[in-house]
């Protein structure tokens, strides 16, 4: 199934910050990215990036608390798939969100690198009174701006 030109679709999911609900986010983004016409490889990469971002909210913003709110919006726009994750935890300074050196051999810490290398647009916004918002976008096949 492919997306019709000029259409606009948006899906919002509200979930508790319990890792067992990450499967819902993964399933949603996997299916939506296929609808958008991404290859299986691209779909898997986008799914991993979104999963990593949601996991980081649980681990870093909510410090593992399982009863906090995460809102995920999937927007299919004319030229891109946009995913917005909103949390209501501690504000995060975007300047402190950095991936570690890829030559440093140890587990973990590659999430930011995965997100930035997979997605075409990554924007952190902590201007809200409470919480943070991460907006990620992947241009649809054949739509990427040069």
Give me the architecture of the 9-139 domain, per CATH.
Answer: 2-Layer Sandwich (3.30)
Length in residues, the chain: 146
Predicted model pTM: 0.84
Q: What integer pLDDT is reported at residue 96 of this predicted model? A: 66
- The predicted-structure confidence for 39-72, as pLDDT tens digits, reads as follows 999 999 999 999 999 999 999 999 999 999 999 9
Question: What CA–CA distance (Å, rounded) separates 146 from 65?
Answer: 41
- Look at residue 145 in the predicted model and tell me its pLDDT: 64
85-141 pLDDT tens trace? 999 998 877 666 555 454 554 444 567 889 999 999 999 998 889 999 999 999 999
Residue-wise pLDDT for 10-19, tens only, equals 999 999 999 9
Helices H / strands E in the chain, number of each: 3, 5
CA distance 34 to 91: 33
- 3 state SS of 90: coil
Cα separation, 74 vs 12, in Å, equals: 6
């Amino acid at each position: 199934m492919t997306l019709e030109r000029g259409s606009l679709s948006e899906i919002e999911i509200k979930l508790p910050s319990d890792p067992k609900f990450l499967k819902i986010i993964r399933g949603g983004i996997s299916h939506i990215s296929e609808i958008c016409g991404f290859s299986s490889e691209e779909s898997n990469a986008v799914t991993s990036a979104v999963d990593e971002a949601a996991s980081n909210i649980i681990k870093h913003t909510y410090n593992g608390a399982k009863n906090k709110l995460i809102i995920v919006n999937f927007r299919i726009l004319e030229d891109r798939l946009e995913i917005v994750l909103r949390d209501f935890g501690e504000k995060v300074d975007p300047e402190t969100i950095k991936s570690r050196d890829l030559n440093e051999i140890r587990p973990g810490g590659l999430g930011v690198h995965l997100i930035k290398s997979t997605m075409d647009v990554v924007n952190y916004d902590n201007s809200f009174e409470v919480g943070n918002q991460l907006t990620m976008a992947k241009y649809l096949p054949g739509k990427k701006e040069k």
